[in-house]
Amino acid sequence: MHYRAAPEAGTAIRDAAMRLLRESADALRPIAGKMVVEFQPRHHGKDTVIASFMAEAPFQHRVPVFLGDDTTDEDGFAEINRRGGISVRVGPPPGGSAARYELPTVSAALDWLSGTRAEPDR
């Protein structure tokens, strides 16, 4: 649940998310991020989704690339790193990140993806 467009609703959204979590019978885990509360199945995250993709054609035997901008992407960065791929954090990490590379903004990420920027920062 993103509330970037309505920051004044943040408290109400977080409260509603916690109510939903209590009702989930421990099937979900919350991940707080920048003006977002995300729920993931307790035993599946972006890491397991990436692993599933990488096990299937056409992704097998390819170098994975994963860009993210939030704490909800950290599991994905870790999985990409385990696979020797390219993990890129977009924007400054609050308190560190598992990503191996960083780009300062979304526009810098778009430039890198389009080939107009040479490399992300380490």
Q: What is the pLDDT of residues 59-86, one digit of tens each?
A: 999 999 999 998 889 999 999 999 999 9
Beta bridge partners of 2: 36
CB 27 within 8 Å of CB 21? no
pLDDT of residue 96: 86
90-115 residue pLDDT tens: 998 777 899 999 999 999 999 999 98
**What are the φ/ψ torsions at residue 39 (nearest 5 degrees)?**
-110, 135
Integer CA distances (angstroms), 32 to 40, 63, 69, 115, in order: 11, 29, 13, 32
The predicted model scores a pTM of: 0.72
